[in-house]
C-alpha cells in the first residue's frame, strides 16, 4: 500500500474515529482548523489535476534536449522534412529525450500542420516537446500595434544594437498577446512552454528609449516580475499540468540580478518549474571568475576572455564554467527554497496535542507537495563562435561532453543543447 492509499483508507478514518471518542472541550487550541486543512489537502492530492501535474513534473525532471528553429520544426519543405527525419533518428539513437521548438520568434508565431504532425510523432515515441516563445525582442506587431513598442524621442520605433525592435513588457496588452500565443501552444499539444527574452533590452542606446507603459520611477524588476506572475497564474489555470520554464542570462546565475534588464533570479522562483541559464562558455565576454567554494573545497577561478595563452581563456574551460556556475546558483536556490516551520504542542488533552502536532507537520508536508519548486535545466553550447574559431577554439565532442558532465555532476534536471543551425555533435551523446 502506497502512502496516499494508507492515508486515504486507513489513517484518515482512524483519526475521524478518535476525534469523536473525546468531548470537544478537550480539543487542543486550533485543532479543528488543522484538521480541516488536513482533509482539504488530502482531497486536493487525490484530485486528478494534481496527479497529472505530478506525472508531468516527474517526466520533465531529466530532459536531455536539443533546439529546433521554426523552419526545422514546422516547414513543409522537403529540406525541413528530411531534417526532422534526421532529428528523430538522432533522438532514437542517443540519450536525447526532448526537443525545444520555436513557435514564436522575432517575426512572429508559427503553428502549421507540419508542426502538429511532428509533435504527434515525437509524442508517439515518448519524447518531451517544449515550445520556445521569444517574448519582448519582436517585430511581429509593429504594423498592427506600434503603440506596444519602445520608441525614440523622435517618435520612431527604437531598435537595439543588432537592429531588433522591442515590445514593452510592462504593457498589459503585450502580456495578453504572449498569453494567447502560449495558450495556442498548449492547445497544439506542447508539454512545456519556455519563455526567452522576457526582459528589457540590454544593448543599444538605452538612454534614448521612450516606454509606452513602463514607468521609470519603479524598478524594471517589478515590471518583469509582474509579467512572470501573469504567465504563471493564467497558464496554470488554463492547463493545470502545464510545465513552464524560462531562459535567463548565464550572468544571472553568477550575480543573481541584472537590474538593467529586470531579470532577478529570486523573482523566478515559485513561478517557473525550470530555469534554463544560457551557460555558453564562449559568451562570457568579460571573462569568468568565481570565489572559493568552501562547501566543496574548490579553489577560486579566473579565466579571461582573451589571453596570449589560448589555453587559459574561458572558452577552453567548459567543465569549470558550467559546473562552478551551477554550484553557485543551485546553492542559492536551495537556500531560498529551504523553509523552516516551528512545530509546537498546544496545551490541552495530551492525545489531541499529539494529533495537533501530527496535523501541523503533515499539513506542511502536503502543502510542500503543492509548491512550485523551481529547478535548473541549463542551455549548453554545441556551436562554434567566430571569434573562437579564428583563434583555433572549436566546440568539439569533448567540449560538449564536458558541459554535459558538468550539468550532471551538479545534479541539474537535465540539459539542453543549442545550435542555431540545428546540427548537433552526435559523438558527444551517449547511445540510447
pLDDT digit string, tens, across residues 245-284 = 999 999 899 888 888 999 999 999 999 999 999 999 999 9
Mean pLDDT within 3-13 = 56
Using CB atoms within 10 Å of the CB of residue 5, give its burial: 0 to 12 exposed, 13 to 18 middle, 19+ buried. exposed
Q: Which of the pair, 307 or 50, is modelled with greater confidence? A: 307
Range from 38-42, 62-66, 174-178, 216-220 carrying the lowest mean pLDDT: 38-42
Look at residue 338 in the predicted model and tell me its pLDDT.
66
For residue 32, pLDDT over 80 is answered with no
For residue 358, pLDDT over 70 is answered with no
Summarize pLDDT for 387-430 with one digit per residue, the tens: 999 999 999 999 999 999 999 999 999 999 999 999 999 999 99
Instruction: Name the nearest CA neighbour of 80 among 117, 108, 126.
Output: 117
Average pLDDT, the chain: 88
The Cβ of residue 391 has, within 10 Å, a number of other Cβ atoms equal to 10
State the virtual CA torsion across 393, 397, 399, 403 in degrees, nearest 10. 150
List C-alpha distances in Å: 263 to 60, 124, 125, 129, 267.
Answer: 24, 37, 36, 26, 8
Which helix (H) or strand (E) element contains residue 264? strand 263-264
For residue 4, pLDDT over 60 is answered with no
| 8 Å CB contact between 298 and 324 | yes
Three-class SS of residue 122?
A: helix
Look at residue 341 in the predicted model and tell me its pLDDT.
44
Q: How confident is the model at residue 37 (pLDDT cuts 50, 70, 90)?
A: low
List C-alpha distances in Å: 219 to 29, 164, 207, 225.
Answer: 44, 23, 15, 10
- 352 φ, ψ (degrees, to nearest 5): -75, -25
CA gap 240, 243 in Å, rounded: 9
- Please tell me the total number of residues recorded for the chain in this structure: 432
Look at residue 5 in the predicted model and tell me its pLDDT.
59
For residue 104, what are the contacts with CB-CB under 8 A and spacing of at least 6? 110, 132, 133, 134, 140, 181
Look at residue 188 in the predicted model and tell me its pLDDT.
97
Q: How confident is the model at residue 323 (pLDDT cuts 50, 70, 90)?
A: very high
Q: How confident is the model at residue 72 (pLDDT cuts 50, 70, 90)?
A: very high
Look at residue 9 in the predicted model and tell me its pLDDT.
60
The residue whose grid cell reads 572558452 is: 315
CA gap 148, 169 in Å, rounded: 9
CA gap 265, 195 in Å, rounded: 15
Summarize pLDDT for 74-92 with one digit per residue, the tens: 999 999 999 999 999 999 9
Work out the percent of the chain whose per-residue pLDDT is above 90: 75
Look at residue 129 in the predicted model and tell me its pLDDT.
98
Range from 14-18, 284-288, 289-293 carrying the lowest mean pLDDT: 14-18
For residue 319, pLDDT over 90 is answered with yes
Q: How confident is the model at residue 344 (pLDDT cuts 50, 70, 90)?
A: very low
Mean pLDDT within 146-153 = 97
Look at residue 340 in the predicted model and tell me its pLDDT.
44
Q: How confident is the model at residue 151 (pLDDT cuts 50, 70, 90)?
A: very high
Amino acid at each position: 500500500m502506497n502512502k496516499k492509499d494508507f492515508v486515504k483508507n486507513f489513517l484518515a478514518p482512524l483519526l475521524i474515529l478518535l476525534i469523536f471518542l473525546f468531548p470537544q472541550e478537550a480539543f487542543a487550541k486550533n485543532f479543528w482548523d488543522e484538521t480541516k486543512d488536513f482533509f482539504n489537502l488530502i482531497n486536493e492530492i487525490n484530485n486528478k489535476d494534481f496527479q497529472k501535474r505530478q506525472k508531468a513534473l516527474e517526466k520533465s525532471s531529466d530532459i536531455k534536449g536539443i533546439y529546433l528553429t521554426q523552419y526545422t520544426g514546422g516547414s513543409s519543405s522537403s529540406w525541413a522534412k528530411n531534417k526532422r527525419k534526421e532529428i528523430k533518428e538522432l533522438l532514437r539513437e542517443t540519450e536525447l529525450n526532448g526537443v525545444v521548438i520555436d513557435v514564436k520568434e522575432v517575426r512572429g508565431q508559427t503553428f502549421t500542420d507540419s508542426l502538429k504532425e511532428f509533435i504527434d510523432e515525437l509524442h508517439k515515441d515518448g519524447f518531451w516537446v517544449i515550445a520556445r516563445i521569444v517574448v519582448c525582442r519582436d517585430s511581429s506587431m509593429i504594423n498592427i500595434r506600434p503603440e506596444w513598442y519602445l520608441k525614440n524621442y523622435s517618435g520612431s520605433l527604437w531598435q537595439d544594437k543588432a537592429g531588433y525592435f522591442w515590445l514593452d513588457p510592462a504593457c498589459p496588452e503585450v502580456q495578453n498577446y504572449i498569453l494567447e500565443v502560449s495558450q495556442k501552444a498548449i492547445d497544439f499539444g506542447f508539454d512545456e512552454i519556455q519563455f526567452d527574452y522576457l526582459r528589457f533590452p540590454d544593448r543599444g542606446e538605452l538612454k534614448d528609449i521612450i516606454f509606452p507603459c513602463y514607468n521609470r520611477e519603479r524598478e524594471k524588476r517589478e515590471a518583469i516580475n509582474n509579467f512572470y506572475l501573469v504567465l504563471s497564474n493564467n497558464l496554470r489555470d488554463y492547463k493545470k499540468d502545464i510545465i513552464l520554464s524560462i531562459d535567463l542570462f548565464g550572468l544571472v546565475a553568477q550575480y543573481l540580478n541584472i537590474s538593467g534588464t529586470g531579470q532577478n533570479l529570486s523573482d523566478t522562483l515559485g513561478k517557473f518549474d525550470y530555469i534554463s541559464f544560457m551557460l555558453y562558455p564562449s559568451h562570457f565576454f568579460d571573462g569568468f571568475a568565481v570565489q572559493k567554494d568552501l562547501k566543496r573545497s574548490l579553489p577560486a577561478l579566473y579565466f579571461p576572455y582573451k589571453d596570449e595563452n589560448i589555453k587559459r581563456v574561458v572558452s577552453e574551460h567548459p567543465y569549470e564554467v558550467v559546473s562552478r556556475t551551477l554550484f553557485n546558483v543551485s546553492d542559492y536556490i536551495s537556500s531560498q527554497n529551504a523553509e523552516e516551520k516551528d512545530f509546537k504542542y498546544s496545551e490541552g488533552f495530551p492525545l489531541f496535542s499529539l494529533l495537533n502536532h501530527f496535523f501541523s507537520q503533515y499539513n506542511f508536508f502536503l502543502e510542500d507537495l503543492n509548491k512550485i519548486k523551481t529547478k535548473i535545466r541549463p542551455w549548453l553550447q554545441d556551436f562554434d563562435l567566430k571569434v573562437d574559431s579564428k583563434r583555433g577554439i572549436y566546440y568539439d565532442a569533448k567540449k560538449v561532453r564536458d558541459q554535459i558532465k558538468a550539468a550532471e555532476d551538479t545534479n541539474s534536471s537535465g540539459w539542453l543543447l543549442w545550435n542555431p543551425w540545428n546540427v548537433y555533435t552526435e559523438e558527444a551523446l551517449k547511445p540510447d
